[in-house]
Chain A
Amino acid sequence: MPRTTALDSRLDRSPRYSDADLEPLLLALTRLRDGDFREHAAAPAAEGAIAAGMRLADQIRERAAHQNHELVRVRKEVSREGRIEERLAQGPGVGSWAASVDATNALLDTLTGQSTAMARVVEAVAAGDLSQKVELRWGGRQLRGELLRMARSVNLMVDQLDEFTSEVTQVAREVGIEGRLGGQASLRGMSGRWRDVTSAVNTMAGRLTAQVRDIAVVTTAVAKGDLTRQVTVEAAGELQELKLTVNTMVDQLSAFADEVTRVAREVGTEGRLGGQANVRGVSGVWKDLTDNVNNMASNLTSQVRGIAGVATAVAKGDLSRKITVDAQGEILELKLTLNTMVDQLSAFADEVTRVAREVGTEGNLGGQAQVRGVSGVWKDLTDNVNFMATNLTYQVRNIAQVTKAVAYGDLSKKITVNAQGEILELKDTVNTMVDTLSAFADEVTRVAREVGTEGNLGGQANVRGVSGVWKDLTENVNNMATNLTGQVRSIAQVATAVAQGDLTRKIDVDAQGEILQLKLTLNTMVDQLSAFADEVTRVAREVGTEGRLGGQAQVRGVSGVWKDLTENVNNMATNLTGQVRNIAQVTTAVAHGDLTRKIDVDARGEILELKTTINTMVDTLSSFASEVTRVAREVGSEGRLGGQAEVAGVSGTWKRLTESVNELASNLTTQVRAIAEVASGVASGDLTREIDVAARGEVAELKDNVNLMVANLRETTRANKEQDWLKTNLARITGLMQGHRDLLQVAQLIVNELTPTVGAQYGALYLAKDAELVLTAGYGLPSGSEGRGRFQVGEGLVGQVAEERRAILVHKVPRGYLRIESGLGAAPPASVIVMPVVFETQLLGVIELATFGGFTDVHLDFFEQFTETMGVTINAIIATTRTAALLEESQRLTRELQERSDELQRQQAELRRSNTELEEKAALLAKQNRAIEIQNFEIEQARRTLEERAEQLAVSSRYKSEFLANMSHELRTPLNSLLVLAKLLSENGEGNLTAKQVEFARTIHDSGTDLLQLINDILDLEKVEAGKMDVHPQPLELSKLVEYVDATFRPLAVDQGLGFDVRINPGTPQMLVADEQRLQQVLRNLLSNAVKFTEDGEVSLVIEEADTSEVASPALQGAEALVAFRISDTGIGISEDKLQLIFEAFQQADGTTSRRYGGTGLGLSISRNIARLLSGEIRVVSRPGEGSTFSLYLPVEFDGQIPEALPPLPPAPQPTSSAPTGIPVLTGLPDDEAPADYTDVVLTGRKVLIVDDDVRNVFALTSVLEGYGMDVLYAEDGQAGIDVLQHNPDVSLVLMDVMMPGLDGYATTAAIREMPQFADLPIVIITAKVMQGDREDSLASGASDYVPKPVDVDHLLGVMRTWLQRTEASE
């Protein structure tokens, strides 16, 4: 009590109070010390310090009591009532009292705050909020100690709870909300109970999944209306209840459904309104439901009856009624709808009525209903009606075709259209009718043929299996046949009588109708026959008896055979008349001497005899005449005199006649022979003879004429002789003149020859020379005395002749004019002639001749002709002379030319020689060239051979590679499914496999993976060997490589109890340029080998710089720096003789079947090849039993050049792109780009059907056509095509392939064409066949056009446009 002490010090220290005085104070203090804070009765009043002490003690008590009370209260509040926010109230005390209360409150705050925070978190957890955490700081300070642990625990709990709930929630969401049953919560990070709980949740989810799926199946079945299913899955507890409930529900539902179905059937199907559902044993909602159903049924009943009234009215065709019954909700809607429906129905009915009227009444097939503004079922209905109309149209047309055929009597056609229901019945009926009709017709035909054609009366039609009208018909026919038979027989009797000539009989049988007519007709016939007989009798009498030819029977009112008969009689009369008249004509002709005529009229009997007699007579006459004619001809025409006519068998007049003819012939012979004698004389040149036989008449004339002729002949012969002379001399002298060139010689020759020829004794020839005539030649010319050498033109007779160019003849030349002298004497000539010699108009000369005798006419003629010839000759000679001069000149010139030419030739020869030399040199060159060419060719051939070999090698290598690649692919493919399925199994997704089975599945998967690795190895090896492995060099840090190796192999080595060491020796370059993947692969191979073959000890990889002396490869030796990767082990080692072998593919040091280590032995082979690819090499040092060291040397700088690499193969064709088979589907299509969108006026929006079994072709065509906005349908074969077409009548065009299985293109086209509605549908045939007849075949099958494969798209589009436009136009 320090305060008390302090108080005491201020007080009076002197003891004033007794112990008794202090007693209450001590008591109070004792109470205070003992914790008794109760208020006690006030002690007797004291005073002074005692009182003050008492007051203080009491105040202390009060404060302690308050504090105590507060503590007790707070404890009670906190512990009993849980109000932890309760705090101590500040008492009256100050200082430590207050501090103590504050401390207590602070402590409480800390504790409750923490627990409140935890409580908040827990509350949040309780409220499902797992995001809240306990703050790890309190009052700005980090929590410590137990509180921190608690807070962390709570937070951990919240986290786990969170994770758990999220897992579970996810599962629950998947299972519960999203319905993805089968989801499982992940157990990751869970432990303890949470793990258990999660597992439990998973189990629950699994079980729930199974149960829910089962229940779902059942409920789905229920939902789908299948009430037979029951939940069968095993379940317990509530689910079991649920299951039972569901099953019960299904049962009740079933019962309920049955009942409701019954009611519904009664009400709905059977129309028994008023029915009530009666479900026993249900309660609760089912009962309500049943009641409701019943209620509904009754309500519905009344409403439905209201609606039914309307509907009945509608059904009866009364569309004016409307529903007026009160209704609500859906029924109201129904009512409105029904009313609307009635309206629409009305419109629809009108339209349908119209169509029906058009189609049904007016027969306008093909009409289509058009109801606007309807949708849904009405639209469908309208469509259906239209469809029905179309179908009906088609069917009716087909039936019409058949019935038309029946009407035209063609009973072979049948209805083939597809139909159903009544139409089908109709179709069957019509077909049956056609059959029946056919049978009936056959039978009736048979009866008709028997009765009508074959005359078998009494035949009866026997049609089996007919009834009704057909039976009646058959009986009628039979009846008719019987009646006809009776009547016909009666008629036959009369006809027989008529046939026997009895025309008195008449038919008296009872008959009606046509038969009556026949009877009357027959009777009439008998009458007419009578009349006819009379008339014929008359004509016969007139013609036959009275000889009045030309008479004609005239039977009036007859027709048919009677008319024919009458005409026959008349014909006969006419014939007879004709015959008689013909005979008369012939006899008349004979009478007129015409023996060529014969009777040619057809005749028979007696008339024939008469005709024959007359014709025989004519023949006899004819033969006589011909004999006489022959004699006359022999004698007269052929000159065979002495011929005698011999007519045998004639007598009388004819004999006499013959004798006269013979006499005449002998007379003629005598005369003619006399004439012949004279003629013979004349013929042998004797013209002196004359005919002197006596003759008369014409023969005398002949004689005179012959004599005259002989005289004439004589005269003519003389004239001829003169002419002969003239011509002869002319020719002779002319001949002499020819060949002479000299004019003088010719002139002399002329004078010499001419003068004696004409008997002249003097001759002179003057030739014209300038304007003068000069004597050039003479004959018997006196020497100089008489005659002059020259004359001017116009001078003397010679000159006169020259001027006139006319000859002058002088007779009786006076004496002394001229003398012709000879050695014996001289005398003047009697005649002189002077003649000009002229060529054309040019005077050439004059010739003068003189004779003693005189010149006859012949001589004058001769002169005239000769002077002409002479003119020609002389002129020719003159011309020749001139020509000769010219020739000489020309020859001179030619000679000169010749000389020059010689000179030229000489020069040319020289040139030619030098030319030849050049040519020889050129030939030599050519020869050398040829030799070089041959060598080149040989080289080329050798090169080509080499190339071929190389190619063959490449091909075979490629085949091998491809084979292996394919093989490994083929091996992989089955492995794929194996691996996938094994993986799936090993995951045990459904949780229904045992651990053992999962283990098996895992083993399968692992083995498969190993196998896959092996196949990959083979493929790798193959790729390296084929040069197909690509190398991608890149800078590479060695440290990274070491990390990789360490991470990969250390665990393996440690597993096997081996030491493992990887290090880089100092001085090794840090970077390397190589292909990282490949390098890793090699190191992997080497290291795994090392680990595999080492039992104990260690495996190490040392990377260091290497010296070029260690390597063998020249490329590597030339490298600037080398890196060696040395893999050493302490394993079994390899003996010397196996060191090379291990690098061969599929080889191991121990390759026996009992070998210890597995593996394929591919690793080293691949490694060595890859090392080579990387410009490196692998070397090995090994001792059996001690270990091996494999060293991989690589250049630091890899330049990508592969040493000794196999030559890369020419790029092999991709194995998948097998040789294209068949015909390219489309040409003209850009290969890598689909056609852009086009809109085409004609094509866009049209529907086209492609019928083709080649789906690629279809796809390509579809792509193109859809590009043009067309709607493409597709059918795989002909039948499918027809079906598609029937369901899509709006197809505008069909593209049809020819070659299809089943119905081919032609058959399909033909089948489509048979359907009337597709008669005009454009069908374009597409075929790969390019035969000549294809087009014809296509068009014959009914196709519109023809497009050959491969299809040229532009062409096809053009064709399609054409046809679509055509149909558009026709529409």
Chain B
Amino acid sequence: MTDRLNEKVKILLVDDREENLIALEAILSSLDQDLVRARSGEEALKALLTDEYAVILLDVVMPGMDGFETARDIKRRKRTRDVPIIFLTAVNSDPDYAFRGYQAGAVDFISKPFDPWVLRAKVSVFVELHNKNRQLERQAAQLREQAALLRGRLGDEGRAGR
């Protein structure tokens, strides 16, 4: 548990409107993770160049580079391809948007105004998933290390036996 406390994961919140970011932070603050704001698609890409994120909450309608474009760029890069993206949009009545969102690689598509509990639950699932993935990675690394160690020992013994 301390392990998890020490390792806060990062959640990227992308919206062009300050108040939406405040709302998102209000909703997600109880998860006690690092919430990183981005005010545009470009800022989101910049953030992704330097850090690793557990999940991205991406507003669809933004001036300049919209959410679909941003998602497409994110999905195009190998390192960021697997970061789950949840689209947030106020334009819920257009089924085309949801379609485009999923096509752009979203794992979920939530229309505003959203239920805080639902959003929190969804985000926490991805945070958990991310932690599990990290744990898996660590274990895999350990296993690899041990395997290498064992191989080395086997090799030594093989040499000694000879």
Contact = CB atoms under 8 A, between A and B. Distances in A.
A981 B23 contact: yes
A603 interface: no
A21 interface: no
Given A972-B90, A973-B61, A981-B22, 20 more contacts: A179-B5, A969-B61, A972-B91, A972-B113, A973-B90, A980-B23, A980-B26, A980-B116, A983-B116, A984-B116, A1214-B100, A1215-B61, A1216-B62, A1216-B66, A1216-B67, A1218-B63, A1255-B43, A1258-B49, A1262-B49, A1266-B78
5 contacts: A977-B20, A980-B116, A1019-B93, A1262-B77, A1263-B73
Contact of A977 (B23, B72, B77): B23
B112 A972 contact: yes
A692 interface: no
Interface string A1015-1051: 0100110010000001000000000000000000000
B145 interface: no
A1267 B60 contact: no
Interface string B90-109: 11011110001000000000
Contacts of A1267: 78
B53 interface: no
A976 interface: yes
B134 interface: no
B42 A1255 contact: yes
B77 A1234 contact: yes
Contacts of B22: 977, 981
Nearest to A1217: B66
Contacts of A182: 30
A980 B113 contact: yes
B15 to A, nearest CB: 9
A1266 B79 contact: yes
A984 B27 contact: yes
Contact of B77 (A178, A979, A1266): A1266
A1011 to B, nearest CB: 11
Contact of A1255 (B45, B66, B75): B45
A974 interface: yes
B160 interface: no
B19 interface: yes
A172 to B, nearest CB: 15
Nearest to A1226: B76
A976 B20 contact: yes
A984 B45 contact: no
A1016 B92 CA distance: 10
A438 B34 CA distance: 57
Nearest to A1232: B72
A1256 B30 CA distance: 33
A279 interface: no
B126 interface: no
Given A976-B90, A1256-B45, A1263 B19 contact: no
A71 interface: no
Contacts of A1216: 60-62, 66-68
B113 A1256 contact: no
A1260 interface: yes
The interface residues of chain A, by DSSP majority, are classed as: helix
A833 B65 CA distance: 126
Contacts of A1016: 93
A471 B78 CA distance: 69
Given A182-B30, A1016-B93, A1260 B20 contact: no
Contacts of B113: 972, 975-976, 979-980, 1008, 1012
Contacts of B91: 965, 969, 972
B17 interface: yes
Interface of A: 178-179, 182, 965, 969, 972-977, 979-981, 983-984, 1008, 1012, 1016, 1019-1020, 1023, 1030, 1214-1218, 1232, 1234, 1237, 1255-1256, 1258-1260, 1262-1263, 1266-1267, 1274, 1276
A1237 B78 contact: yes
Nearest to B46: A1255
B78 A973 contact: no
Contacts of B43: 1255
A1290 to B, nearest CB: 19
Interface in B43-92: 43, 45-46, 48-50, 60-69, 72-73, 75-79, 81, 90-91
Contacts of B42: 1255-1256
Contacts of B78: 1234, 1237, 1263, 1266-1267
A1274 B49 contact: yes
Contacts of A1217: 66, 68-69
Nearest to B19: A977
Nearest to B61: A1216
A1260 B112 contact: no
A1263 to B, nearest CB: 4
Contacts of B62: 1216
Nearest to B90: A972
Interface centre among B75, B76, B100 (most CB of A within 10 A): B76
Nearest to B32: A180
B90 A1255 contact: no
Contact of B75 (A972, A1020, A1234, A1258): A1234
A1256 B20 contact: no
Given A972-B90, A1266-B77, A178 B20 contact: no
A973 B96 CA distance: 19
Nearest to B63: A1218
Nearest to B45: A1259
A979 B119 CA distance: 14
Contacts of B73: 1256, 1259-1260, 1263
A1255 B27 CA distance: 29
B75 A973 contact: no
A1263 B77 contact: yes
Nearest to B73: A1259
B20 A973 contact: yes
Interface string B119-140: 0000000000000000000000
Contacts of A972: 90-91, 112-113
Contacts of B79: 1266
B45 A973 contact: no
Interface centre among B1, B42, B113 (most CB of A within 10 A): B113
A1259 B45 CA distance: 7
B106 to A, nearest CB: 14
A969 B60 CA distance: 11
B63 to A, nearest CB: 8
B104 to A, nearest CB: 10
Contacts of A1255: 42-43, 45-46, 49
A1203 to B, nearest CB: 24
B19 to A, nearest CB: 4
A95 B34 CA distance: 85
A969 B26 contact: no
A1159 B116 CA distance: 29
B27 A969 contact: no
B112 A1259 contact: no
Contacts of B63: 1218
A591 to B, nearest CB: 107
Contacts of A1023: 93
A1267 B45 CA distance: 17
Contact of A981 (B1, B26, B48, B96): B26
B69 to A, nearest CB: 8
B82 to A, nearest CB: 12
Contacts of B30: 182
A186 B65 CA distance: 45
Nearest to A1269: B78
Contacts of A981: 22-23, 26
A1259 B90 contact: no
B1 A178 contact: yes
Contacts of B68: 1216-1217
B68 to A, nearest CB: 7
B1 A1260 contact: no
B109 to A, nearest CB: 15
A1274 B42 CA distance: 14
